[in-house]
Amino acid sequence: MELPCEYEYMNEGLIDDELKCSVCHHPFESPVSTDICGHTFCKKCIETWLLEQQTCPCCRRRVLLSNFNPVSTRVVLNLLNRLHVQCILCRQRNIERGSFKDHKKQCVERIVTCSSADLTCKWTGKSDELSQHEHTCPYRSVRPIVDELRNQNQKLQLTVQKQAEQIRFLSILFNNGKAMSQNCIREDYCRVFFFSLNDQEEPKCDMCHASLRHINIAFHHCDGGCLCKDCSKIHYPS
């Protein structure tokens, strides 16, 4: 596995070989160890290796990716995190590898985009130039308007969706002009209320498809089809 492009190791030749992957010969990145033979590699290194051959790179025993687990030994992880690296962009030295993400956020040479990139601002530059750009960025001045339009559009979409659900509910309730009933008038052979007596499958709400007992049914057709009380409360409030 190639080194991350953001940093390089300080005095890599002096780093203990026990902390290095035998595939890429660099210090472990996200180390994983196999439960077959105990050998350890970088996660990406072993994933790439196993695409070609399903053997351990060290002892050649047959292994699968499922045989590897993340190394959780705190001593090993601490030693790796304390390795000193140098930022390739700003050339700052002696950064502990475990703290490099924090440095990356503050690196003055890091290339960043404008916070209004989602509004098609094309500016990119060093992180220490960002505040100066955003002070004059024309897209920032229109963001409140754009955000308000987006909020209105989301509300409109929710309204349309709710209306569509209500229309669907009513189309089920008044299917083919025959309205469902709230009170069963033919309980002696109603398929919905007597499904268990006739060894029929438990009815489901035609709206949300939840399985129902008769106590949860708000509307039904005696020959089949029903709507639950929850859907009724949402789409057909009394």
The Cα diameter of the chain in Å comes to 89
CA distance 91 to 71: 30
pLDDT by position in tens, the chain (length 238): 444 578 999 988 899 999 999 999 999 999 999 999 999 999 999 999 999 999 999 999 999 999 999 999 999 999 999 999 999 888 999 999 999 999 988 888 888 889 888 888 999 888 888 888 988 898 888 888 888 988 999 999 999 998 899 888 988 888 766 788 887 766 666 767 666 544 556 788 999 988 887 778 888 888 778 899 999 888 877 6
CA distance 67 to 12: 30
Contact 179, 224 (CB under 8 A): no
Can you give the pLDDT at residue 188?
65
Nearest-Å Rg of the Cα atoms of the chain is 32
Contact 57, 22 (CB under 8 A): yes
Can you give the pLDDT at residue 141?
84
Q: What is the pTM of this model?
A: 0.52
Strand runs (DSSP E) across 79-222, as ranges? 84-87, 95-96, 111-113, 124-126, 217-220
Structure tokens given for 222: 């005696």
Can you give the pLDDT at residue 1?
44
Burial of 212 (0-12, 13-18, 19+ CB in 10 A): buried
Three-state DSSP class for residue 111: strand
CA distance 12 to 106: 25
Strand runs (DSSP E) across 37-156, as ranges? 40-42, 68-70, 84-87, 95-96, 111-113, 124-126
Structure tokens given for 121: 């601002």
